[in-house]
Chains A and B, each alone.
Chain A
Amino acid sequence: MADTITAEDPLTGEEIEIPADVEVGEIVDSPATGAELEVISIDPVTLEEAPELEEDWGE
């Protein structure tokens, strides 16, 4: 299993495990709620609720 680290889920306040190699700007799914969380900073890792999908997003 890939290395993981713990961070606080901003929605529930729980400690959750996320991949250790996350980047700032990356989106991770909260294992607690399934919500999309954005990595705001690393060392220490802080998470925020990710922005909602917008109409002009895509490729």
Chain B
Amino acid sequence: MNVGLLYSRIRRDEKLLLSELRDRGHEVAKIDVRDEQFGLSDPPESFEGVDVVVDRCLATSRSLYITQFLDAYDVPVVNSAATADVCSDKVKNSLALERAGVPTPTTEVAFTTDSALEIIEQFGYPCVIKPVVGSWGRLMAKVESRSAAEAILEHKATLGHYQHKVFYIQEFVEKPGRDIRVVAVDGEPIAAMTRSSEHWLTNAAKGAEVEPFEVDDRVRDLVATASDAVGGGLLGIDLMETGVSGSSDPETRVAESQADYTVHEVNHTVEFKALNDAVDVDVPSAVVDWLESTVDAEPEATV
């Protein structure tokens, strides 16, 4: 197949994908999004002959618009514009999960600092303020007092881009020092890992320690439903364990039999290098398997 890899920065994730694609004899056109110009009717020359475009844009804004353009040109792209639209915005993400019946942290949104402060006071402390667009744990605030809340809200209202005036406030979930990242294709898990840290943020990008995680039936169900809720594709589904302490003591674990999971986010341009290092599964190989099956399912895909 002929794959267009859309990028603005080649991370190790993209290198792994490129290597796997080339090793299998696929044609790969690297398309630097910064060099492209998009009209309303015809795709740029770089997209000629591609069977599928893999959107690996680092910038959410670019990913959002380019997937829309590719849709308009009838160029197959993974992930789809619809998936990108839902996943790139935490409000849309949360609404989709709630609508699908996936347990997700209690979340409220307000548009003024006064209303936001009211939500925070109702949640109690700590609670969490997140930017509606953002990644890698950046600009996330764990709010532990009213005075901190007032300061954070004032800073966001005064210094922020207009999106920071959409105040996305979430309950603080007491997780057992770790969260879970599952990378899945159309709802089928490829592999999963835990991300552990002493810090309340457990993003791999923040230096969390990663360990393989065995997907149980409950996680498998939640991943399938969450994936479907956002339109499917190659996704990183993030879950937290609720009602557990993380103890290895069997008696403690029995006492924690009410344990469940909550899905806090689904990512659409998922990074997988940390997962690939943590597990025995060859993640890029599984991703390319899925790409091949996706293209096989679309025989009229070539532009």
Contact = CB atoms under 8 A, between A and B. Distances in A.
B245 interface: no
Interface residues of A, number: 15
Nearest to B13: A59
A58 B132 CA distance: 13
B23 to A, nearest CB: 13
Given A25-B32, A59-B269, A54 B7 contact: no
B59 A56 contact: yes
Nearest to B271: A59
Interface in B55-85: 58-61
Nearest to A56: B60
Interface of B: 7-11, 14-15, 18, 30, 32, 58-61, 133-136, 138-139, 161, 205, 236, 267-271
A16 interface: no
Given A55-B134, A56-B133, A57-B58, A24 B10 contact: yes
28 contacts: A23-B10, A23-B14, A23-B15, A23-B18, A23-B30, A24-B10, A24-B30, A25-B7, A25-B10, A25-B30, A26-B15, A27-B11, A38-B9, A51-B9, A55-B139, A55-B161, A56-B59, A56-B133, A56-B134, A57-B59, A57-B60, A57-B135, A58-B58, A58-B60, A58-B136, A58-B205, A58-B269, A59-B267
Interface centre among A23, A51, A56 (most CB of B within 10 A): A56
B134 A58 contact: yes
A54 B134 CA distance: 10
A55 B18 CA distance: 26
B59 A54 contact: yes
A55 B271 CA distance: 17
Interface of A: 23-27, 38-39, 50-51, 54-59
Nearest to A26: B10
Contacts of A56: 59-61, 133-135
Contacts of B138: 55, 58
B291 to A, nearest CB: 18
A59 B18 contact: no
B62 to A, nearest CB: 8
A54 B271 CA distance: 17
A27 B10 contact: yes
A51 B34 CA distance: 12
Pick from A27, A38, A50, A58 the residue with the most CB of B within 10 Å.
Answer: A58
Contacts of B268: 59
A25 to B, nearest CB: 4
Contacts of A51: 9
Contacts of B7: 25
A59 B10 contact: no
Nearest to B15: A23
A5 to B, nearest CB: 16
Contact of B270 (A54, A57, A59): A59
Contacts of A55: 133-134, 138-139, 161
Given A23-B30, A24-B30, A25-B30, A58 B8 contact: no
A50 B59 CA distance: 14
A27 B15 contact: no
Nearest to A27: B9
